[in-house]
Chain A
Amino acid sequence: MAKNTESNVYTILFATGMVLVVGTLLAFLASSLKDKIAENKRIEKQQNILYAMGINENDESSVEFVSKDIVGEEFNKYITKQLVITGTNAVENDKAYLIDLKKEAALAKNNNYQRRLPLFVGNKDGKESYIVPVRGKGLWDAIWGYIALDNQLVIQGVYFDHAGETPGLGSNIKERFFMDDFIGEHIMDGDTFKGVAVSKSNADPKNINKTDNEVDAISGSTITGDGLAAMLKKDLKMYLPYLKTLKQ
C-alpha cells in the first residue's frame, strides 16, 4: 500500500466513505425488509392477544402460539369485537389492535389529547373475556403484555413480553411458570382497585391464594417485577371506568 493512511485527508475521506457505504447499506436493507417485518409484528400481536385469552398450542410447560398460517382466521373467529375507548365512550373498530400504545401514551402527555384505549372482546366456548393491552418499563427497556379479564374482573390469562430484560432473570416474565400464576388472580379487592403486585414476601409460592392481589416474584429480577406490577396498575386503571360497567 503506497497510500499514507496516517494523513488527515485520508482519514476524513475514509470516514466519510465508510459512513456513506454503511448508511446506504443499512437504509436499503431496512426499507426493503420493512413490510415483511411489519407483517411479522402484526401477526405476533394477534398471536399474543389470542394467547392471553387461552387460544394457544401450549403443552405442559412451553409457550406455543397458534401457528402463523391460521392466526388471522382464529383471530376473526375468537375476537368478536374490538373496541376503542375514549373517556366513557366505546366505539367498535376492526383495526383497534393496530393502535400503537407507545404513541398514544406520548400523545396523552398533551392535556388536550383524549387517549384512545383499545380493548378486545373475545369469546371462547361461550365465555367472554376482555383483553386489555398494557405497556410499561422494565429494568432495561420496554415491557408489554395482554391481560384477559372476565366480567368479574378476574384474570383469565396473560401474555407478557419485553424488549431487553436480562436473559435468564427478567426475561422470565414471558415464561409459563410466571405467566400462569396470574390466572385466576383478582385485580380488585372488594370494590377498590388493587392491580396485581409481584411480591417477594407473599409466602405463597404455589399461588393458592388468588384473592391476595399478589403473585410470586422471580429471584434476581426485582426491578423487572416491580415495573410489571406498576404497568398493570397504571394501565388497568385507565380501563377501570369501562370495565366496571361490565360487572353489573
Chain B
Amino acid sequence: MGLLSKKDLKLITDPLADNNPITIQVLGICSALAITAELKASIVMSIAVLFVMGLGNLTISLMRNIIPPKIRIIVQLIVVATLVIIVDLVLKAFAYELSKTLSVFVGLIITNCIIMGRFEAFALANGPIRSFVDGVGNALGYAVILIIVGFFRELLGSGTLLGFKVLGDPIEKTGVYAFGYENNGFMLLAPMALITVGIIIWVQRSRNTSLIEDN
C-alpha cells in the first residue's frame, strides 16, 4: 500500500476535474476574476492558497470536536486570518522582497470562499490527514483554473506570458502585430475572466455530460 489509499488519492484527483472548486462547486470565483490578468499573479495566488488551505484544513480538522457549532464560521475565519497574518509577519521580517509581492494577496486569501467552503464541507467532518490532503487537492484544482484563465488573459490581453513578449512588440509592430493583430484590452477586465471561466465550464460539461444537473 502506498502513502495514500485509493480513496485518499481521489481527494487530490477529484478537485482537479470532476469536482473542481471553481467550475463545479462554484467557489472562489471572486479571486479568480480579480487576479488572473497576469499569469504570474495567478501562480503566486495559487501557491499562497495551497499553503493556507492545507494548513487551515489541518487545523480545523484537529479542532473539529471542540468547535462550538454556533460560532463555527467565526472560528474558521479566525483560523484563516491568523494563519495568513502569521505568514505575512514572518515574511516581512525575514523575506521582505517576497512579502512585498504577496502583500496584495493577503486580503484575497482571507476572503477566499474556497477556504471557508472546504472547512465547512470537509474539515469539520474528517480526520486531519484526509483534511490536509483535501485542502491540497482543492487548492490544486483552484490553481489549474487560475493558471488557465491567467494564461489566456495575459496572452490575448497583453500579448505577453509571464512578462515575456511572446507575440512581438505592439508598439514597435513586430511579430504578429506586423500583420495588424491588436491586443484585446477587454481581456484585462474582470468580465472577460468570468466569460473565460464560463467557457471552461462549458467545455468541461460537454466532455462529461454527467456533470450537467437536471432541472
Contacts and interface: CB of A to CB of B under 8 A. Distances in A.
A205 to B, nearest CB: 5
A26 interface: yes
Given A37-B92, A169-B188, A22 B171 contact: no
Contact of B36 (A61, A162, A168): A168
Interface in B45-88: 45, 65-71, 74-75, 78, 82, 85-86
B90 A33 contact: yes
Nearest to A62: B163
A61 B93 CA distance: 28
A220 B163 contact: no
Contacts of B37: 166-169, 220
Interface stretch (A6-14, A81-89, A116-124, A151-159): A6-14
Which of B44, B68, B85, B94 is the most central at the interface, judged by chain A CB atoms within 10 Å of its CB?
Answer: B68
B68 A6 contact: yes
Interface string A214-241: 0000011000000000000000000000
A61 B89 contact: no
A110 B40 CA distance: 44
A219 B71 CA distance: 43
Interface residues of A, number: 35
Q: Describe B's contact surface by its main secondary structure.
A: helix
Contact of A22 (B67, B78, B189): B78
Interface residues of B, number: 40
Given A40-B96, A61-B163, A171-B104, A15 B89 contact: no
A33 B41 CA distance: 27
Interface string A37-61: 1001001100000000000000001
Given A10-B68, A167-B37, A29 B107 contact: no
Contacts of A165: 104
A135 B105 CA distance: 22
A220 B185 CA distance: 8
Interface of A: 1, 3, 5-6, 10-11, 14-15, 18, 22, 25-26, 29-30, 33, 36-37, 40, 43-44, 61, 161-169, 171, 205-206, 219-220
Q: Which 4 A-B pairs have the closest CB atoms?
A: A168-B37, A168-B38, A167-B41, A220-B188
25 contacts: A1-B66, A3-B66, A6-B70, A10-B68, A11-B68, A14-B66, A18-B78, A22-B82, A29-B89, A30-B89, A40-B92, A44-B96, A61-B163, A165-B104, A166-B37, A167-B34, A167-B41, A167-B45, A167-B104, A168-B41, A168-B154, A168-B188, A171-B104, A206-B171, A220-B188
